[in-house]
Structures are given as C-alpha cells and as structure tokens.
C-alpha cells in the first residue's frame, strides 16, 4: 500500500443502539471502532478511519419477508431523527468522503440519520 493510502473499516451502529440480542455485534463493532485511532498511529502515514452506518436498506435485511421488512423499517424510521431508513448510496458517499479527505485520520464517522 502506498504511504498516501487509506484504510476504511465498516462497523455498525449496534455499538450505540443497545438493542436486545445485539451484544455480540456491539462488542465486535465497538472493538473495531476503538482500534481505529490506535491503528492510525501504528500505520502512519497510512490513514485509518471507520464508517458506522445505521439502519440501511440493503440485501442484509432479506432474511425477512417483504411485509416484515417494511414493518421493521417503519418502526426504525420512527426512531431515526431524519425519519427514514438510509440508502446504500449514502454510505458509499460517506466512504468516498473519508477516502478522499487526506487530512481525516483516526476517526469514526457515524452515518445513521441521528440514531444513537
């Protein structure tokens, strides 16, 4: 990797959601987020950042039938300050911003519509 390179880790908002049944996910994602500033120092000058998405409409939710998925999204939308579920394109935009900003380093960017 070039010395001007960038590593972007994808975590999840389970670290802040505190939902029943997500302890394992929260622990894994929390550990990744804690590692980001440490890795940024260890791997310098390579930049290390993370994006932490919230509830995003992706195929990950396809384990639910369409009716249940839409009801789940409706319930989450009521809790998210922007009032809707996120789109994969919005997470891609956040990743592109982190990768192209050569001064951003050691940061976790929360892209979750204000859900915390």
Of 98, 102, 101, 99, the C-alpha closest to 110 is 98
Looking at the structure of the chain, the number of domains it has is 1
pTM of the model: 0.90
Q: pLDDT of 53-83, one tens digit each?
A: 999 999 999 999 999 999 999 999 999 999 9
Q: From the centroid of its chain, how far is CA 1?
A: 24
Whichever domain contains 105, its CATH number is 3.40.50.720
pLDDT band at 31 (very low <50, low <70, confident <90, very high): very high
Q: How far apart are CA 105 and CA 22, in angstroms?
A: 28
Asked if the model's pLDDT at residue 18 lies above 80, the reply is no
Backbone angles phi, psi at 58, to 5 degrees: -135, 170
Q: What is the pLDDT of residue 61?
A: 95
Q: What is the pLDDT of residue 34?
A: 97
Indicate whether 1 belongs to any domain. no
- Domain assignment of residue 49, given as a range: 6-111
């Amino acid at each position: 990797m070039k010395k001007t390179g960038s590593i972007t880790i994808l975590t999840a908002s389970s670290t802040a959601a505190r939902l029943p049944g997500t302890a394992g996910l929260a622990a894994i994602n929390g550990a990744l987020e804690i590692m980001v500033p440490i890795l940024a120092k260890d791997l310098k000058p390579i930049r290390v950042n993370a994006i932490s998405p919230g509830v995003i409409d992706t195929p990950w939710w396809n384990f639910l039938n369409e009716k249940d998925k839409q009801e789940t999204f409706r319930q989450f939308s009521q809790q998210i300050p922007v009032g809707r579920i996120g789109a994969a394109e919005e997470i891609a935009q956040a990743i592109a911003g982190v990768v192209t900003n050569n001064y951003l380093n050691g940061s976790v960017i929360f892209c979750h519509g204000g859900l915390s």
